[in-house]
A and B are shown apart, each in its own frame.
Chain A
Amino acid sequence: MKRIDAIIRPQSQEQVKEHLAAVGVHGLTVTEVRGFGRQKGHTEVYRGTEYSVDFVAKVMLTVIVQDERVHDIVEAIMAGARTGKMGDGKIFVTPLDEVFRIRTGESGESAV
């Protein structure tokens, strides 16, 4: 099992959701996050004084999948989130030890 965390633009999440649904993802978790990467923050002027917005708002989608589906899912996220401009985000894939479903007590891939 793998855990896929995708940090994307907030306005891309609808499109990504549609692409994920198309490849058969039935559940995902969305977290509102903020941070910066190479794009860095942004400078604005408020009443004549410059201020910087160091952390940019993003959303993080978390999906748990079987190993063999990772490629499809990553492709789907990229298709939905890519604008080609700086700030499109990143995808992290990490191994996952165990999953439990609280209601039934199932574990392993059947609990995903």
Chain B
Amino acid sequence: MNKSLERHPLSRLLVSRQSAMLLAVSVMAALLSPCFAAYEQKPDPAGIATGDKTTAVDAGGNAFAVPEPTDKNAPDYTKNKKDFDDYQAQAAKEPLAVKLADSVGHIRIATNFAWTLNTGYLVLFMQAGFALLTCGLVRKKNAGHLMMLNFAAYVFAFLAYYAVGYAFQFGAVAVNAAPGNLGGVPTLNHFLIGSGQWGFLGGKGFFLTGPAYDAGSNCLMLFEVVFMETAGYIIVGSICERITFWGFLLCELFIGALLYPIFGCWVWGGGWLSQAGASMNLGHGYVDFAGSTVVHAIGGFAAMALAMILGPRLGKYGKDGKPRAFPAHNLVYVVIGTFILLFGWMGFNPGSTLGATDLRISVVAVNTNLAAVAGSATALFFWYCMFGKPDITMACNGMLAGLVAITAPCAFVSPTSAVTIGILAGLLVCGGVLFNERVTKIDDPCGAISVHGFCGWLGAVCVGIFADGTYGSGWNGIGAATYLGNAGQGVTGLLHGDTRQFFCQLAGATLCAIWAFGATYLVFSTVNKIKSMRVPPEVERDGLDIPEFGMSAYPEDAVVTAD
């Protein structure tokens, strides 16, 4: 995702063109914050000061305006000073051009605002898709309960993210946490825990106050909160039909306030994983374009921990340990839900450029679709070969698996690689569902662990394999001028000659799985010991609709408890 620091033309401009060297300068500046004050920008709640001549850039991201170099001891000072003087002389000759550039810069930021907000609305609509998909996949007697979980997830996780989550994730890059595409000037100056290249937790902008009360920050907040909601929804698919409502609300608050924002800070908020390229020479650092791990694997592995804590649904495994099928109660919901998710993903991935002025969005959109259909076709044929008939619910899971896996690499790979990734994901999701059903015996009613957990992990690793170097030059501050000896070389994978990137992806994705599973297991196995998060057996047998909420999704079928 394009929230990394030196990636943005504006910050590249302000921090100078030699970004590797200047990253070091900014780290020094972070340590000496009085020196750093010059880079800070006042919050702009009205949006009238966001976007001026400094944000007017050409197609290559080169800025029109040249900033005045401030550090006289920097090696490039003489050259930068000359560039600045030339620009000043030119500007004095053509004042109208400078005024025009102010306008162009503002419109560029406005275009990116419109893109980011609208794609954010598409991601918001994915919640409807999740609700339909998970509801369709469970038994009729729990349909109302599923709808309530899906609805309450949005409400409570949103509030948690507003209160502290956003600050933990992006507060490190305050004062204005918005990336360059949204007119912000991110810095690495405000970690609550850690500093510079080794930041672990952001620390500004709680309750969207202070520096976060800013037009650019709020644009980012809207886009990010719906991503967090996606991670929050994923767990529903694994814990449904047996979790109590209060237990579920605790899970949502935990994900919105802590689990998601902390890992999000490490990867998208300027944290230590994103800086692994600069600090440990691991390629471009850990790269996850739109959240295969940051969103999906976090949700998927948290779901795995919760499903293990809760145990399988009553009757899922017979006395002989053999799994029993609990067929989906409404395939129509399943298919419509999946298509809504596919549609929403057109915001999820292309929107993650955070700017329509980044024309890679078309490749991202096509890659996303290709992986989706390849994953679906693979799952369909896999099931056909294994069990004699294609299974519509697995074809839908295969489509989602392809989408989850392409989410991290979508901007960095060719369409051919996208198809390959989709096929790998389609195979992995089928294997994962059978593995959980028959071997680990973790009861996962909607396949969320396989779709989001396993395929999320795969997606981030695929960046390290298939990234072809055509996009992402300067990502996380690495290789803005040249990378691997080529000018303009972007994020590169194993197949195109960057082994270190592959190791970084493998380690980062695995760390994500460990973090999500470990933290969730630790917290909720403790909660579960204090008070069981599972409904009593008789409630589970009758269906959760009436006992938990007093109403059934299909009242004419109401099965009422006897006592």
Contact = CB atoms under 8 A, between A and B. Distances in A.
Interface of A: 9-11, 14, 39, 41-42, 44-46, 53, 56-57, 83, 85-88
Interface in B234-292: none
Given A14-B315, A45-B550, A57 B561 contact: no
B315 A56 contact: no
A53 B551 CA distance: 11
A57 B562 contact: no
Interface string B545-563: 0100011000001111111
20 contacts: A9-B541, A9-B562, A10-B559, A11-B559, A14-B315, A44-B546, A44-B550, A44-B551, A46-B551, A56-B559, A56-B560, A56-B562, A57-B558, A57-B559, A57-B560, A83-B538, A85-B538, A86-B562, A86-B563, A88-B562
B557 A57 contact: yes
B83 interface: no
Nearest to A88: B562
A83 B542 CA distance: 13
Interface in B506-563: 538, 541-542, 546, 550-551, 557-563
Contacts of B558: 53, 57
Interface residues of B, number: 14
Given A56-B562, A87-B561, 6 more contacts: A11-B542, A44-B551, A53-B560, A57-B558, A57-B559, A87-B563
Contacts of A53: 558, 560
Contacts of B560: 41-42, 44, 53, 56-57
Contacts of A45: 550
Q: Is the interface of B mostly helix, strand, loop or mixed?
A: loop
Interface of B: 315, 538, 541-542, 546, 550-551, 557-563
Contacts of A42: 546, 560-561
Contacts of A88: 562
Contacts of A83: 538
Given A44-B550, A45-B550, A57-B557, A85 B542 contact: no
A85 B551 CA distance: 22
A14 B314 CA distance: 12
Contacts of B559: 10-11, 56-57
Contacts of A41: 560
9 closest A-B pairs by beta carbon, nearest first, are A87-B562, A11-B541, A42-B560, A44-B550, A57-B559, A53-B560, A56-B560, A86-B562, A39-B562
Contacts of A46: 550-551
Nearest to A14: B315
Contacts of B562: 9, 39, 56, 85-88
Nearest to B549: A44
A39 B551 CA distance: 20
A37 B315 CA distance: 28
A41 B550 CA distance: 14
B150 to A, nearest CB: 20
Nearest to A12: B541
Nearest to A32: B557
Nearest to B561: A42
Contacts of A9: 541, 562
Contacts of B551: 44, 46
A45 to B, nearest CB: 5
Contacts of A11: 541-542, 559
A10 B543 CA distance: 11
A44 B559 CA distance: 12
A56 B560 CA distance: 6
Nearest to B324: A14
